[in-house]
Amino acid sequence: MVLDYLAGKGVVVSDSVARQQAADRGVDDPSEGTLEIIRLASAITTAQQGGTIADADAVALTEQLQALDVDVNPRYGSYDPNTASVQLTTPEWITTADAAQ
């Protein structure tokens, strides 16, 4: 959705660029999911640095994200529709070790 929105604004990150960025990070055979995350991060950075996203665009995109019905596996966090983001959480079964342990 975000990539489609940015593509409509002229910001597109090619597969070859995403693969090169993955290789630069030591990932030689990235999955499609990894490539999509790299394209998304790169497109957002490009749009922000290039002034492609105006305040009105950011508001419109945030409203679209807030309207989504997002299901997040609890081990990764929970979706907060107010900020249109995944909030990281620590499951209750994970405990931290103290210095004595």
Residue-wise pLDDT for 51-67, tens only, equals 777 777 778 888 888 88
In a domain, 91, yes or no: no
In a domain, 16, yes or no: yes
Cβ–Cβ under 8 Å, residues 34 and 22: yes
**DSSP letters spanning 53-80:** S-HHHHHHHHHHHHTS-----TTT-EEE
In a domain, 83, yes or no: no
In a domain, 89, yes or no: no
- In angstroms, how far is the first alpha carbon of the chain from the final one? 46
Q: Rounded to an integer, what is the distance from CA 56 to the centroid of its chain?
A: 20
Q: Report pLDDT for 63.
A: 85
In a domain, 18, yes or no: yes
In a domain, 40, yes or no: yes
In a domain, 39, yes or no: yes
What domain count does the chain have? 1
The rounded radius of gyration (Å) of the Cα atoms in the chain is 17
Give CA–CA dist 48/33, Å, rounded: 23
User: pLDDT tens for residues 74-97?
Assistant: 878 888 888 778 888 777 777 777
User: Which range of residues forms the domain containing residue 12?
Assistant: 2-69
In a domain, 58, yes or no: yes
Mean pLDDT of 33-59: 82
